[in-house]
Amino acid sequence: MTTDNQPEKKPANQPPIYRLILACGNTLRGDDGIGWQIAAALEQDVSNADAHIVVTRQLLPEHAELISRAEVVVFIDCSAHAEAGQVQSIPIVPAEQLPRILTHHLDPASLLRLALDLYEKVPSHAIAITVGGDFFELSEELSAPVKAAIPDAVLAVQQALR
Amino acid sequence: MSQTITIDPVTRLEGHGKITLKTNDQGEVSEAYFTVTQVRGFEKFSEGRPYYEMPSLMARICGICPVSHLIASAKACEAIMSVEIPPTAAKLRRALNLAQTIQSHALSFFYLSSPDLLLGMDADPVDRNIFGVAQKNPELGRAGVALRRFGQHIIELLGRKRIHPGWVVPGGVTEPLTAVKRDEILALIPEAYANIKLALKWYKEIADRFTEEAEHFANFPGAFLGMVSEDHSLEFTDGKLRLIDATGNILEDKLDAAHFDNVIGEAVEPFSYMKFPYYKPLGYPDGAYRVGPLARLNIASHAGTPLADIELTEFKKLANGPVLGSFYFHHARLIDILYGIEKIEQIFSDHTILDTHVRATAGVNRLEGAGIAEAPRGTLMHHYKVDDKGQIIWPNLVIATGQNNNAMNRGVLQTAQRYVKGEKLEDGMLNRVEAVIRTFDPCLSCSTHAYGQMPLAISLVAPDGTVLDSIRRG
């Protein structure tokens, strides 16, 4: 797993990535940190050993290149719109309309669009696994229902990767 | 009939700003103000903190240039400690600072400004962004993304985080470099060279399309301040400051951090929370000056690295003396990037870079200290006073963007007078007014844009309140 805190292993010829997991969120904002914890749980499972797991505070244009090399990509994030603890699997396709403005946060569909425009390739399958949250105050702790949803979220990711 | 035109917020900037244009009875722009609407409070809430916390605290001012604050702050602390850091630590910090400059300039040039340059100032705002660049010129888009990733990855390797890295502390850095990380960085260099060469080639091919903007974008005589090395070449981390006037005459030389505020004052204006630094002997506003990539290239006699030397020699032929047009900040940014890549290659090819002596230790040995560094946007100064226990009693920061404040305001007025005409607002007019601000790449804070559509409504209102025209984006 590579994070914003660790060096990224980058083979010189940038080989393809079969399974890419991109987990994002702010670990200082309560439930928004769920993506990092799900990614950590996935890394513990040896069946995910060939998955390239990246955790980041936000999706960036710089992730487009990684995505273009993947066959399958699973985005993991918290959702402020779903019920706390609710796990959802949402298929993602490249956005047709480009965002009007570059923000600090790119959504998965826009990132796929960018990968298509820059590198002419996107994964054959792209899915977002989200966990509903309702506590986003300054905290490194998850709320109880969100924490309880981790096993289900992990399962959803593993199903998406098959 | 006199009118007031407001652009709020200004787009594709780091932070939040507002532009106000006032017209006279003939409908001509007579006044213009670039207003910074944020109050951060770092100087105030730092009071009472231990001095050694300051680098980490000050890095949180910004998410784009935290390294500059880390380094300037650490240097101020080292002045308080009365220490000289180990040579390897100085080289490592220099590399970190240059990596930050590269990624910041890549963001500014490719993400924020190239949409105007590639797609045209009059292009539909829907397309005039990095995604529009990706569609129209994917090769250029890839180069920009890759250069930003290059700089960020070096920061991550050295400082463990891309944003708000640690590692730089008073006395040096917390840990030496490993051979694995050094080799990983060196392996990234060839691609970085290829990308900046592509960008420079592309820029030179399109630059002639913007002679009109180059002539009228904040193009006026004025002084320039920046850091140089002992041999007058470019320097971002451990040089002394030089101030030159519009003809290239040296006004101040070998200025160090300890004497910065002997010659630089700070004025305030009622329309902005950002201060207006100026050169004291000339007073305010005559003593206003510019900092940043354009200033650095005007001040240095040469770059000090082979490829950047060639580019700088060519750049200096744009004018007989200092290049005064702020449009050329774009070109200067690309030369900064090239220099940064060359210097990073030199630093990490040096066999001493793996030396394990990277930190000096000491307590409080002076009650005052100042440190300067070249941030991507220009000279940055941190100045602290402490008590005997080392608690901050007075901090003062002179930020790069603030030093360009007067020039940005003059630039807005000059550009608006050229392009904003009549009672009918056109998007291209207002985009040029915004674009002149973007040449300075101001960093007003790390919070750039709200997620989603950025509402931008501009109304042309007559003194009696009648709305003559309006434009809405988003």
Residues B135-162: tens digit of each pLDDT: 899 999 999 999 999 999 999 999 988 8
More confident residue, B130 or B76: B76
Q: Is B129 on the interface with A (CB under 8 A)?
A: yes
The stretch B163-170 carries a mean pLDDT of 92
Quote the distance between the C-alpha of residue B286 and its chain's center: 22
Q: Is A7 inside any structural domain?
A: no
Query: Which residues 257-296 of B are in CB contact (within 8 Å) with A?
Result: none
The stretch B396-410 carries a mean pLDDT of 91
No. of helices (H) and no. of strands (E), chain A: 5, 5
Q: Is A84 inside any structural domain?
A: yes
CB-defined contacts A:B, below 8 A: 89
- pLDDT category of residue B356 using cuts at 50, 70 and 90: very high
Q: Is A11 inside any structural domain?
A: no
Best mutation target, A118, A120, A136, A138, to test chain B (most B CBs within 10 A): A118
State pLDDT tens for residues B6-50.
Answer: 776 666 665 566 777 777 777 778 888 777 766 677 888 899 999
CB A64 within 8 A of CB A15: no
Residue A17, min C-alpha distance to chain B (Å): 18
Secondary structure E strands in B186-228: 223-228
For residue B145, which residues of chain A lie inside 8 Å, CB to CB?
A: 61-62, 64-65, 118
More confident residue, B280 or B127: B280
Q: Report CB contact under 8 Å: A117, B131.
A: yes
For residue B184, which residues of chain A lie inside 8 Å, CB to CB?
A: 7, 10
State pLDDT tens for residues A87-127.
Answer: 999 999 999 876 665 555 689 999 999 999 999 999 999 99
- How many residues can be counted in chain A? 162
Quote the distance between the C-alpha of residue B244 and its chain's center: 19
Q: Is A63 on the interface with B (CB under 8 A)?
A: no
CA angle B127, B128, B133 (to 5 degrees): 85
Q: Report CB contact under 8 Å: A100, B160.
A: no
Q: Is B198 on the interface with A (CB under 8 A)?
A: no
Residue of chain B whose Cα is closest to the Cα of A3? B161
* pLDDT at residue A9 greater than cutoff 50: no
Q: Is A142 inside any structural domain?
A: yes
- pLDDT category of residue B240 using cuts at 50, 70 and 90: very high
CA angle B238, B242, B247 (to 5 degrees): 150
For residue B127, which residues of chain A lie inside 8 Å, CB to CB?
A: 98
CB B195 within 8 A of CB A89: no
Q: Report CB contact under 8 Å: B160, A105.
A: no
* pLDDT at residue A10 greater than cutoff 70: no
* pLDDT at residue B415 greater than cutoff 90: no
* pLDDT at residue A7 greater than cutoff 80: no
User: Burial level of B356, CB count in 10 A (0-12/13-18/19+)?
Assistant: exposed
At residue B450, the pLDDT reads 26
* pLDDT at residue B111 greater than cutoff 70: yes
Q: Report CB contact under 8 Å: A98, B450.
A: no
Tell me the residue range of the domain where A110 lies. 26-161
Residue of chain A whose Cα is closest to the Cα of B165? A5
Q: Which range, of A10-19, A151-160, B306-315, averages the lowest pLDDT?
A: A10-19
At residue B123, the pLDDT reads 80
* pLDDT at residue B411 greater than cutoff 80: yes
Residue A31, min C-alpha distance to chain B (Å): 19
CATH of the domain at A131: 3.40.50.1450
More confident residue, B351 or B438: B351
Of B13, B56, B57, nearest to B38 by C-alpha is: B13
At residue B446, the pLDDT reads 33
Three-state SS across B74-93?
HHHHHHHHCCCCCHHHHHHH
Over the range B420-458, which residues count as b (16 or more CB within 10 Å of their CB) and which as e?
beeeebebebbbbbbbbbbbbbbbbbbebbeeeebebeb
Token pair listed for A40: 């950590």
- pLDDT category of residue A14 using cuts at 50, 70 and 90: confident
For residue A114, which residues of chain B lie inside 8 Å, CB to CB?
A: 131, 134
More confident residue, B167 or B61: B167
Q: What is the CA radius of gyration of chain A?
A: 15
Token pair listed for A51: 């998955």
User: Burial level of B396, CB count in 10 A (0-12/13-18/19+)?
Assistant: middle
Best mutation target, A6, A56, A59, A62, to test chain B (most B CBs within 10 A): A62
Q: Is A17 inside any structural domain?
A: no
At residue B454, the pLDDT reads 32
Q: Is A121 inside any structural domain?
A: yes
Average per-residue pLDDT in chain B?
88
- Max distance between CA atoms of chain A, in angstroms, equals 44
- Max distance between CA atoms of chain B, in angstroms, equals 72
Q: Report CB contact under 8 Å: A118, B138.
A: yes
ipTM surpasses cut 0.85: no
Q: Is A130 inside any structural domain?
A: yes
User: Burial level of B22, CB count in 10 A (0-12/13-18/19+)?
Assistant: middle
Total domains, chain A: 1
CB B237 within 8 A of CB B94: yes
Q: Is A16 inside any structural domain?
A: no
Per 3-state DSSP, what percentage of chain A is helix, strand, and coil (rounded to 5)? Answer: 35, 25, 40
At residue B134, the pLDDT reads 87
- Residues 6 or more apart in contact with residue B260 via CB below 8 angstroms: B241, B370, B372, B381, B383, B398
